[in-house]
Amino acid sequence: MMGSPLAGKLYVQVQYDLQRRISSGEFKPEEMLPTEEQLCREYGVSRITVRRAVDGLVADLFVVRRQGVGTFVAGFSHALQSVRLRAYLEDILALDRHLRFQLLTTDTISAPERVAERLRLTGKARVAHESTIVLLNDQPFMAGEGYFPADLVLAIDPEDFAGHEQPTERILRRAGLRIAYGEQNITATAIPEAFAIHLDLVPGTPVIQVERLYFDDRGTPVAFINGFYHPERYQLTADIVPRGGAAPQIVPLSKDRK
C-alpha cells in the first residue's frame, strides 16, 4: 500500500483513504469508483482487502453498488447521517439461554435483487432461505429470514434451530464454513405484514430492521440475515469516543441473537 501514515489493518487503511478521496472531491457524487483490479494495483493489496474496504464504504453510505455495473460514489440523496459502531463477533454469536428459535419455513429460491447484491450473486443464482421467529423469555422478540448461497449451503436442517445456539452459525458450520467477520446495518422501517403477525404487531408499525452480512476468511459473503425487532424489546446503547480513543462498546438491553 502507498506510504500513508494510516494505522490499523490494511483494509481499514484502504477504506479510510478512499473515504478521504471521496470527501475531498477527487471522486465526485455519482462517479464510478475504479475497479477492484485497479484499486488492487494502486494500493498494492489483495482483492479481498479491497473488497472489505469497499464493503465498509457501502455500509457507511459513501458508495453504492449497482449490480452488474460497478460501485459509485453516493449522490446527495444518500448523504444521511451514518454512525459506524463496533460489535464483537463472539458476542453476536454467543449462546443465550434466554432466546429460543422457531423455524417457520425453509426453501430454495431465486435470490431477490437486494439479497443477490449483498451476497454478490449474479444471473439467476439461487439461495437457501429460512424464516424464523426468535423468542426472548418466551415473548416474540424478532421475526426475520436468512439467505445462504445455494452452492455453499445445499439445504437447511430444522435441527439447526434446536437449542439456544445461533442457527446461522450452525447452518454454516454444517456446510463446512466459518464466519470470520460481518457487518450490520440498523434502520427504522414499517414492518411488512408477513412478519407483523409473528410479533403481534399491526402491519406498518414502526420497528427496527437489522440487516447482517457474514463473510468467511476469504472475504466471501456466506449469509445475509434480515430481521425485524419488536419496538418495545430492543434498545441499543453505545459509547461515543474520538476515533483515536477507546473502542466503542455496544450494550443492548436485550441482546439480539440471530
pLDDT of residue 142: 93
Q: Which of 34-38, 83-87, 193-197, 203-207 is least confident? A: 83-87
- Express each pLDDT in 44-64 by its tens digit: 999 999 999 998 888 777 888
Q: What is the mean pLDDT of residues 122-151?
A: 93
Confidence class of residue 241 from pLDDT cuts 50, 70 and 90?
A: low
pLDDT top residue among 87 and 169: 169
- The per-residue pLDDT for 244 is 46
Q: What residues have CB less than 8 Å from 154, skipping those under 6 apart?
A: 128, 175
- Helix (H/G/I), strand (E/B), else coil: 115: helix
Cβ atoms of residues 105 and 130 within 8 Å? yes
In the predicted model, is pLDDT for residue 3 greater than 50? no
Region at 120 (left for phi over 0; alpha for psi -120 to 50; beta for the rest): left
Is 80 exceeded by the pLDDT of residue 82? no
pLDDT above 90: percentage of residues in the chain: 50
Question: Dihedral through CA 166, CA 167, CA 169, CA 175, nearest 10?
Answer: 160
Does residue 76 have a pLDDT over 70?
Answer: no
Nearest to 220 by CA among 152, 147, 124: 152
User: For residue 188, is pLDDT > 50?
Assistant: yes
Predicted pLDDT at 126: 96
pLDDT over 90 (residue 256): no
Lowest mean pLDDT among 9-13, 90-94, 155-159: 90-94
pTM: 0.66
Whether 91 and 46 have beta carbons less than 8 Å apart is answered as no
Mean pLDDT, range 90-106, rounded to an integer: 79
pLDDT over threshold 60, residue 255: no
SS3 label, residue 235: coil
Choice among 4-8, 21-25, 250-254 with the minimum mean pLDDT: 4-8
Q: Is the pLDDT of residue 24 over 90?
A: no
Buried b (16+ CB within 10 A) or exposed e, 61-94: ebbebeeeeebbbbeeeeeeeeeeeebeeeebbe
pLDDT at 145: 96
Confidence of residue 237 (pLDDT cuts 50, 70, 90): confident
Q: Which residues of 102-128 are buried (b: 16+ CB within 10 A; e: fewer)?
A: ebeebeeeebeeebbbbbebeeeeebb
Is pLDDT above 90 for 86? no
Task: Please state, for a pLDDT cut of 70, what percent of the chain lies above it.
Answer: 81
Q: For residue 193, give the C-alpha cell.
A: 405484514
Inform me whether the pLDDT recorded for 172 exceeds 90. Answer: yes
The whole-angstrom separation of Cα 30 and Cα 2 is 26
